[in-house]
Structure 1
Amino acid sequence: MKLGMLTACLPGLTLDEIAAWAAATGYEALEVAVWPTTGSRDFEAAHLPVADFGPAETDRTRTLLDRHGLTISALAYYENNLHPSPARRAEIHTHLKHAINTAAALNVPYVGTFIGRDPGLTVRENLREAEKLFPALVSYAGERGVGIVIENCVMDGWHPDGYPGNLAYSPELWEWMFSLGLLLNWDPSHLTWIGIDPVKTIAPYVRHIAHAQAKDIEILDGSIQRYGFFGKAIDRTDPWDVGWWRYRVPGRGQVNWTAVIDTLYEHGFTGNLSVEHEDPIWGGDETRVKQGLAIAHQTLRPLIIG
C-alpha cells in the first residue's frame, strides 16, 4: 500500500511545486487533478493538460516523477457523467476520454470520475441511462489499459433538494456499477454520514476497490436534531452545507483509521490510499492546506507498512 494525496486541494500550484512538496513531506503517490480550466466546478485544478497532452508532456511528467520518487495513482476528473444538458454531458465525456488517453500515455492505471445524476429523472431512470452510456466509456478505457474508478461520494450539493447527486454512494449501487465494468474509489467519510460502517464494506468488496481515498468526517454535536438526516432545508444558501457534519483531514474526525487500514491489509488491498483534503479548518490558503496534508500524513504514515 502506498500513501498518496489528491492534488485538487492545491489548485494554485503547479504539478512541479506539488510534487516537490509532497515528496519532501513523505507522500509516495499523487492522484492528479485534471479538470479543464473552465470554471466548471468550484475549483480549477488542472495539473496536467490532458486535452493537449503529447510526447513532450509525457516525457516531462515522467522525468518530474522520477526526480521526486513519486508515482501517479490515478487521474482525477470527478464530474457529472449524467448531466441533464446534452451539450455539457458531451463535453464531460470528451474530457474524460482526454484523461484516459493521458493515463495510457503515462502508464497510470486508473481515471477517477462520478456516475452523476440527472436530477429531473428518477433513480431508476438514471440507472437505465447510465447503462446506455458507461459500457462504451469502459471499453474505451479498457482498450487503452486504463480502468475507470468511481468514488462513492453522495454529491448531495448537485441535487436541488440535497438528495444524492452521484448514484454510487451505497453497496447496492456499487454492485450495479460493477456489472458495467466500473471499479470503486472507496472513501470511508461518505459512508459514515449516511449510516454505513465503512470497515464492514471492505471484505465484501475489496476485489473491486481499485483505489482508496482517505478523508475523515466530523459529526457536529446535536445539529442533526434540528435539521434531520437530509440537512438544512430553509437556510441552505451553500448547497454543500448540510449543517450537521463536515469533512476533516484524517486524524481530526471520527473514522477509525487503524481499523480501516488493518482491514484493507487483512483482505489483500495493495493499492493506493490517497488523502483527499476538504477540511474547512485546515483550508483557505496554501499554508493551512499544507498543514492539513501534513496532519493527514502524520496520522496515516505510521499505520502503513513499508
Structure 2
Amino acid sequence: MRLGFMTNILVKKGMVHLDEIAEWAAAQGFEDLEVGPTVPMERELFERVLEKGKVAITSLTYCRNFLSTDSGEAEAHIAELKKRIAFAGDLGIEKIVTSTGINKTLEEGIYDKADSIRRTPARSLDQFVETFAPIVEYAEKKNVKLAFENCPLMGNIAISPVMWREILKRLDSKMVGLAYDPSHLVWQFIDPYAPVAEFGDRIFHVHAKDTEIKEERLKECGILTDFSWWSYRIPGHGLLDWRKLTGELEKAGYQGTVSIEHEDPDYEDSLELVENGLILGKEYLKAFIGKR
C-alpha cells in the first residue's frame, strides 16, 4: 500500500500549483497524489510531475451530482467527468474517484413509512445506471477505472454495502469499483471493517479519514437535528481502529493508495496547520502500512 493525500485542502489554503504540491509531497515522504478538481488539467504540468517521478499521480477526483434535475448542470458535470477520463487515459493515470449523483426529487416523502423505498437512495438507481452505462463504456475504452466514493453528502447513492451490491451488479465491469472511505460509515453506524472482505477486489482506492462522535451532543440533538454530533478527523484522532482496517485491507490483497482526505477542523485554519495535519496523519498511518 502507498501513502498519499488528496490535493483539495492544500489548494484551498494557497498551494495551488501541481508542481509545488508534488515537491512538498515528496519532501514529506508521501508516495502518491489524488488530484482534485481545483487543480487545472494542464497536460504539460502533469507530464512534468510524472516524468520527475518524485511522487506518483494515480487518481483524479471529480464528485458532482450527475443526476441533477437541472439538465444543463447534469450535462456539464458529465462532460467534465468524461474530460477527466480521457485526460487520465492519455497520461496513464489509473482511476477517477467520483460520485453517482442523486435525483433529489425522488426523495420526497422521506418519512412515509407506507412506502419504504421512498426513504432510500435506491429510487435513483435506475437513473444512475442509465446515465453511467455509457460513461463506463467510455472508461473501458480509455482503460480508466471508476471508483465510486461513499460520502452521502455530495449527491451520491453509493453510500452503503446494500447500495454497493446493486451498483456493482448492474454496472458489471472490471473498471467499476469503490473509493472506500470508512469515515462516512462510522457516522452512518455501518461496520467500517467487515465490508472490506466482501468488496476487497472492487476497492480501487482508500480514503484515510477518521470520524469523531460527540456523545454528549448526540444525547441532546439525536441524529436528525443537525450534524453537530460528529466531525471528520485526521487518522488517529477519531474512532476508527486503523490497525484493524489496514489489516483487513491487507488480507483482501489491497495494494493501492491510502489517500489522506484532510477535512479535520482542528487543522484547517492556515496552510501550516493543514500541512501539519497531513504530516500527522501520514506518520500515524506509517505504523500500520508496510510494517507487518
Q: Above 0.5 in TM-score?
A: yes
Q: Is the 8 A contact 2:23 2:54 kept in 1?
A: no
**1:197 match: secondary structure:** coil
Which of residues 142, 148, 151 in structure 2 aligns to 1:150? Answer: 148
Q: Is the 8 A contact 1:77 1:112 kept in 2?
A: yes
Distance change >3 Å, CA 23–CA 231, structure 1 → 2:
farther
Q: Is the 8 A contact 2:178 2:202 kept in 1?
A: yes
Specify the alignment match of 2:48 in structure 1.
63
Aligned residues: 271
Specify the alignment match of 1:189 in structure 2.
183
**1:223 match: secondary structure:** helix
Specify the alignment match of 1:169 in structure 2.
159
Which residues of 2 match residues 47-86 of structure 1 at below 5 A?
A: 47-49=39-41, 57-58=43-44, 60-67=45-52, 69-86=54-71
Question: Which whole-Å CA distance do the structure 2 matches of 1:19 and 1:185 have between them?
Answer: 22
Question: Which whole-Å CA distance do the structure 2 matches of 1:136 and 1:175 have between them?
Answer: 20
Which of residues 130, 135, 138 in structure 1 aligns to 2:136? Answer: 138
Structure 2 letter corresponding to 1:167: I
Structure 1 residue runs without a partner (length 5+): 35-44, 159-164, 233-241
Specify the alignment match of 1:5 in structure 2.
5
Question: Which whole-Å CA distance do the structure 2 matches of 1:81 and 1:147 have between them?
Answer: 17
Specify the alignment match of 1:26 in structure 2.
29
1:193-231 Cα offsets, whole Å, 9 max, x none, are 111111111101101101111001111121112221234
Q: Is the 8 A contact 1:2 1:29 kept in 2?
A: yes
Shift of 1:106: 1.2
Confirm whether residue 89 of structure 1 aligns to residue 74 of structure 2: yes
RMSD, matched Cα: 1.4
Shift of 1:27: 0.5
Which of residues 184, 199, 202 in structure 1 aligns to 2:193? Answer: 199
Q: Is the 8 A contact 2:66 2:74 kept in 1?
A: yes
Question: Which whole-Å CA distance do the structure 1 matches of 2:149 and 2:122 have between them?
Answer: 20
**1:16 match: secondary structure:** helix
Question: Which whole-Å CA distance do the structure 2 matches of 1:279 and 1:99 have between them?
Answer: 27
Specify the alignment match of 2:213 in structure 1.
219
Shift of 1:68: 5.0
Question: Which whole-Å CA distance do the structure 1 matches of 2:122 and 2:234 have between them?
Answer: 34
Q: Is the 8 A contact 1:75 1:110 kept in 2?
A: yes
Specify the alignment match of 1:251 in structure 2.
236
Question: Which whole-Å CA distance do the structure 2 matches of 1:297 and 1:255 have between them?
Answer: 15
Specify the alignment match of 1:239 in structure 2.
none
Question: Which whole-Å CA distance do the structure 1 matches of 2:98 and 2:59 have between them?
Answer: 10
Structure 2 letter corresponding to 1:173: M
Question: Which whole-Å CA distance do the structure 2 matches of 1:258 and 1:297 have between them?
Answer: 14
Structure 1 letter corresponding to 2:166: W
**2:232 match: secondary structure:** strand
Structure 1 letter corresponding to 2:149: E
Moved over 6 A (4+): none
Question: Which whole-Å CA distance do the structure 1 matches of 2:127 and 2:215 have between them?
Answer: 39
Question: Which whole-Å CA distance do the structure 2 matches of 1:208 and 1:67 have between them?
Answer: 30
Shift of 1:276: 0.2
Distance change >3 Å, CA 200–CA 86, structure 1 → 2:
same
**1:111 match: secondary structure:** strand
Taking structure 2 as the reference length, the TM-score comes to: 0.89
Structure 2 residue runs without a partner (length 5+): 108-120
Q: Is the 8 A contact 1:19 1:68 kept in 2?
A: no
Structure 2 letter corresponding to 1:188: P
Question: Which whole-Å CA distance do the structure 1 matches of 2:239 and 2:231 have between them?
Answer: 11
Taking structure 1 as the reference length, the TM-score comes to: 0.85
Question: Which whole-Å CA distance do the structure 2 matches of 1:287 and 1:205 have between them?
Answer: 37
Specify the alignment match of 2:124 in structure 1.
126
Structure 2 letter corresponding to 1:106: L
Question: Which whole-Å CA distance do the structure 2 matches of 1:250 and 1:91 have between them?
Answer: 34
Q: Is the 8 A contact 1:20 1:68 kept in 2?
A: no
Give the % identical residues. 34
1:42-78 Cα offsets, whole Å, 9 max, x none, are xxx2x232xxx5xxx24x4233234352111210111
**1:199 match: secondary structure:** coil
Bigger drift between 174-183 and 132-141 goes to 174-183
Structure 2 letter corresponding to 1:142: E
Question: Which whole-Å CA distance do the structure 2 matches of 1:72 and 1:25 have between them?
Answer: 16
